[in-house]
Amino acid sequence: MTIVSDLLLTDSFLIKGNVENKYTRLSQILDENRKYFLRVRDATLVDLKSCERIQTPLLQVNMDEILLAHEFLDEAGDHHMRAITPEAELHRIRVFYTGMLNIELAGYARPGAYEADDHLSRRFFVMQKPQIRGFKDHDDQDLKLLNNLGYAILNKVRLSYIYDFN
């Protein structure tokens, strides 16, 4: 059994593993990565339709395919998380990804965090207390992980629609 620290969701797979050469928090790695592919060690891919599993020692994931990510570690050291303090103004938002996997996430984010001109993030931003809709977990233990995330790191480029309640 291998301990994994990172979770990625694409249109086709839930991917669990360890991002290679991780020098800081996952949110920062994703936001600053200038390569086309993110290398994941000890990866398990769970097919979102059939729940079949593929295990591989090394997987390279196209950055454009990532819908959301999560790191299974203490959140206190993340500079994105520090920016979201109890005193910080958070907007209730709902975002939609459309394509092969049509899902909706509702939660809280900094005002304008999803915009291209946001000064704290480039390509990914953090959503607090995400609630996912339109996703079937097929009673699979790994897929159920998506229902209980304290935060999610969302890919701005892949968002189709955003509803900001403020």
Cα-to-chain-centroid distance, residue 98: 15
CB atoms within 10 A of CB 88: 11
How far, in Å, CA of 39 to CA of 115, rounded? 27
How confident is the model over 121-133, as a mean pLDDT?
94
Are the C-beta atoms of residues 164 and 93 closer than 8 Å to each other? yes
Residue-wise pLDDT for 11-53, tens only, equals 999 999 999 988 889 999 999 888 999 999 999 999 999 999 9
Q: Which domains does the chain have, with CATH numbers?
A: 6-71 (2.30.30.100), 75-164 (2.30.30.100)
Amino acid, res. 149: L
Residue-wise pLDDT for 63-91, tens only, equals 999 999 999 875 445 555 555 455 578 99
The pTM of the full predicted model, rounded to 2 decimals, is 0.89
- Tokens 């607090």 label which residue? 128
